[in-house]
Each structure stands twice: as structure tokens, then as C-alpha cells.
Amino acid sequence: MLFSSISFLYYFLPAVLGLYFITPAKYKNLVLLLASLFFYFYGEPLYSILMVFSIISAYLHGLWINSAQTQKLKKAAFISSIFFSTGALLFFKYHIFFVNNFNSIFDTSIVPLNVLLPIGISFYTFQILSYTIDLYRGKVNIQKSLINFATYVSMFPQLIAGPIVRYSTIEESLDKRTHSISDVAWGINRFIIGLAKKVIIANSLGEIGVLFNSADEKSVLFFWVAAIAFTLQIYFDFSGYSDMAIGLGRIFGFRFLENFNYPYIAKSVTEFWRRWHISLGTWFRDYIYIPMGGNRVNLLKWGRNILVVWFLTGFWHGAEWNFVIWGLYFALFLVIEKYFLKNLFAKLPSAIGHFYLLLTVVISFVIFNADGMGEAILNLKGMFGLTGAPFTNAETIYYLKSYAFIFILAAIGATPLLKNISQKLTVYASAEKIFNVIKPAVHVVLLLLVTGYLIDGSFNPFIYFRF
């Protein structure tokens, strides 16, 4: 079930909210758990069993870690928990990749099992791992309630596409949380903003990719238009989903951390990754990079740490070599920035650093979005005029004019411009009163527009469901 669907917006969500708020406090987690299990079962009937198994396994391993009398037994419980948690992820997400590459290397003909990727497995596995690792380190307390733990892992607002919510973030809220009209109103507004970003902007930009793939004659300009469109689409798609998750979490009394902070205003790759998919970046930082020594090691080991983390970052996104290359691509730029470009950029106008970042990111998402490295190389050649295509043609100009407004809207929306303007105007009491009236009206209009888009049956996939 998609957040951006009529069934979710007008049937599932109102029913869950109504039931949740009339239920006594001690049973609210149970209501949220049952709603989340139904939500996942609706889209993944068979793999719901896998998620339930993962939850029970992690819960029992947590009890084992907590009750272990010696460090040796505690470590054995911890290793076992990691094995079971990552084992399911490795099998379902990477089984075919490993078998196909084994066949290529050793010239064998092993037939991989026909298994599909369970939606959200990368996200809920990392949430389970954050609990297990922090419990082993003594940073969180044992969760003795299976219902509370299962609610944490399966909570539908962030279950299938993040953000990756750590147990430590909502540990207290699972046992006791407050609800208020202001939090519900804030959550609804944030949800609608995310919904509009997804349906109105991301979906419209996604149509350009469909048109590009079906075009008989592609021009150099069309290659760039498609690349920039996807770069904007993936931001509005994923940040829109995160906005919706954060908004829904607030409605139910949870405060999820931000997952995006206007990454396209960054002036370096280093800054970009502090702003993009923050929950994933900090997860790898705290559970992989720092335990390996981080940057407090010699140059050779630091290079190893960067290589490992960004290999895993790319591989986490998908079981294809272009995702691995995508991760290592960013690792290369991080190393270059640290040792060669850092001092240079400090002396140059910020516009140059910003242009460098945007060019680097657009190229990266061409690699990311391709169906294998062959397609990625072909598209990159097309962007730089190496395929013999004309610079532009009538079809490109037509589509560019047709989607000009969406491009302008996306470009403005990817910056904090509107946010900054509204904050400056609300300094004045009269302007604040006007905004208090206008904002609800704008959100109602956005919801009506989104509903119209959805009824019309427009392009509506979530990109990060693939991961």
C-alpha cells in the first residue's frame, strides 16, 4: 500500500487514526502494531512471515544478550543475532547477484532461486541491527515487551522506505508518549507537504524518464534533461516519503529525526552526504566507520575505512555493480576533497563549489539509475556528445517546454528559499496572522490537487521501494 494512494489516504489512515485515538494508552502500541502488520501484509502477504520471524529472532536474541552471564556468552549471542538478521537480507537481496557473478567468474551454470526482494527489508533489518548493536554496547536498555519491540520494527510510517529509525531515538516513546492537537496538526501538515512533493513534483519528473526511454531519437540535451530530471525526482520522491513518515510519526507521538536537509545547496560531496539520507549516512558512520577507526588512523587504514563504508553504502542500495560503482564514486570524491580540493574551494567563489557538487551528483545518479553499467556508460557518453546524437531536436525542445514549470518548481523547492522567506515574514505580527490563515488553506488545496492526480492515475512508483 502506497502512502500516495486513495486507499491509504481515505480508507486505511482515517480508520487507523480513529481506532488509535479512542484506544486507551496501554493498548495504543498494540493497535499500531496490528495496523502495521496489516499494512505490510497488504503489499507483501508471503514476506510478512519473514518480517515477523526477523522480529521474533531479534527480540529473543536481545533477551539472550541481556541475560548472558559472561562476556563470552554475550558475544556469542550478539554474533548469532547479527548472523540471523543479516542472513535474511543477504539471501533475499543478494542471492541472485552472488550466483550470477559466481557463474561468470568460474564459468558455471548454477541456476539461482527465484526469490523476490521483500519490500523494506533493508530498512527494517538496519533498525533491528541498531537495537542489537546498541544493546550489546550497553547504550540502550532491554525491551522486554514483544509488542513494543515489534511496534518499533514494523511501524508502518517508516517501515518500507525509511528513514532508518534507531531504537535509541524512540526507546522512551515506546513505553510512554504524549499526544497533542499541535503535534497532530504539525504531523498532518508535514505529511501533506511530503505527499505533494511526491505526487505533484516527483511523479511529474518521473514522466520525463519514461518519455526519454521511449524516445526513438535522443539528443545530447535530452540526455541532460533526463539526468537532471531524475536527480530532482529522486530527491522529491525520497524526501517526500521521509516527510510523510516524520509527519505520521509525530501524529502517533513519535519524533523521528530529519532525513534530508536541502542536499542540493551543498558545495562539496562531503557536505552533500551530511544532508542526504542522513539516517543511512549516520548509521554507517556509527556502526561501521567509527568502530573501524574512522579518521583517527593512519592514511592507509583511513582509505580502507572509506572504501569499506562506501562499498557497503552502494551495495546496500542494490545488488548490481552500478550501485557499487556509485558508492565507490563518492568515496573517490571524498578522498579527493579531503586531500586536494578542500583548501582550493576555500579560496574560490562558493558558486564554483556549488556547480561542482551539482555536476558530480547528476553524473552519480546517471550511474545509480541505469540498468547496469552498460546503460550507465551509454547515457554518460550521450551527455557528453560521444554517441553521435545531435545537440538538440524538436522532440527535446517540446518536452523541455512542456515540463519547464515543473523544473522551475523543483529547483526552487530543492532550496530553503520559500522556508527562509516565510520565516522572515513571520517576524511581523500581522504577517504571522496571515500565514496562520493561509497555511491550512494551502495544505487543503495541495491535498485536493494530490487527490486529483491520484484519481487521474498518474505515474506513481516510489523509487526507494527497490531497496
Residues 170 and 187 in one domain: no
Please report whether residue 1 resides in a domain: no
Does residue 465 surpass a pLDDT of 60? no
Whether 94 has a pLDDT exceeding 70, the answer reads: yes
pLDDT tens figures, 306-343: 999 999 999 999 999 999 999 999 999 999 998 888 77
User: Which of these three, 177, 201, 229, is where a domain ends?
Assistant: 177
Name, in order, each residue with C-beta under 8 angstroms of 290's C-beta and a sequence gap of 6 or more. Answer: none
Render pLDDT for 364-412 as a digit per residue (tens, 0 to 9). Answer: 999 999 999 999 999 999 999 999 999 999 999 999 999 999 999 999 9
Identify whether residues 305 and 452 lie together within a single domain: yes
Q: Look over the chain and give the mean of its residue pLDDT values, rounded to a whole number.
A: 92
Residue 466 has pLDDT above 60, yes or no: no
Q: Per-residue pLDDT averaged across 3-14, rounded?
A: 92
Whether 174 and 152 have beta carbons less than 8 Å apart is answered as yes
Which one-letter amino acid corresponds to residue 207? E
Mean predicted confidence (pLDDT) in 447-459: 82
- Does residue 293 sit in the same domain as residue 363? yes
For 58-75, the pLDDT digits (tens) are 999 999 999 998 999 999
Residue 384 domain flag:
yes
Range of the domain at 63: 6-177
Residues of the chain above pLDDT 70, percent: 96
162 with 195, same domain: the answer is no
**What does the pLDDT read at residue 459?**
57
Same domain for 75 and 13: yes
pLDDT band at 462 (very low <50, low <70, confident <90, very high): low
Q: How many other CB atoms are found less than 10 A from the CB of residue 438?
A: 12
pLDDT in tens, 143-166: 999 999 999 999 999 988 879 999
Q: Which of 177, 200, 233 is the last residue of a domain?
A: 177
Q: Quick one: how far is CA 141 from the chain centroid?
A: 27
39-56 burial string, b = 16+ CB within 10 Å, else e? bbbebbeebbebbbebbe
| Burial class, 245, CB count within 10 angstroms (exposed 0-12 / middle 13-18 / buried 19+) | buried
Would the pTM of this model clear 0.85, i.e. be above it?
yes
Tell me, what's the pLDDT at 345?
75
Q: Give the dihedral sign, CA 205/207/213/219.
A: negative
The full DSSP string for 30-72 is HHHHHHHHHHHHHH-TTTHHHHHHHHHHHHHHHHHHHH-SSHH
Residues 30 and 148: beta-carbon distance below 8 Å: no
277 has catalytic annotation:
no
- Count the domains in the chain: 2
Residue type, 390: P
Answer yes or no: do 310 and 166 share one domain: no
Output the pLDDT for position 458: 59
For the chain, give the percent of residues with pLDDT over 90: 76
Residues 49 and 64 in one domain: yes
Q: What is the pLDDT of residues 270-282, one digit of tens each?
A: 999 999 999 999 9
Residue range 216-242: mean pLDDT, rounded: 95
Same-domain pairing of 19 and 33: yes
By C-alpha distance, which of 351, 365, 366 is closest to 265?
A: 351
- Same structural domain, 122 and 245: no
Find the catalytic residue in 61, 317, 354, 443: 317
Instruction: Report, as an integer, the average pLDDT of 333-362.
Output: 88
**E strand or H helix that includes residue 89:** helix 71-106
**pLDDT of the residue at 13:** 95
pLDDT in tens, 16-57: 999 999 999 999 999 999 999 999 999 888 899 999 999 999
DSSP state of 441: H
Residues 209 and 161 in one domain: no
Residue type at 55 in one-letter notation: I
Q: Are residues 271 and 173 in the same domain?
A: no
Contact 86, 162 (CB under 8 A): no
- Examine the domain organization and report whether 196 and 344 are in the same domain: yes
| End-of-domain residue from the set 131, 162, 177 | 177
- Cα separation, 453 vs 196, in Å, equals 10
The answer to which of 27-36, 207-216, 396-405, 436-445 has the lowest mean pLDDT is 436-445
How far is residue 256's CA from residue 126's CA, in Å, rounded to a whole number?
Answer: 15
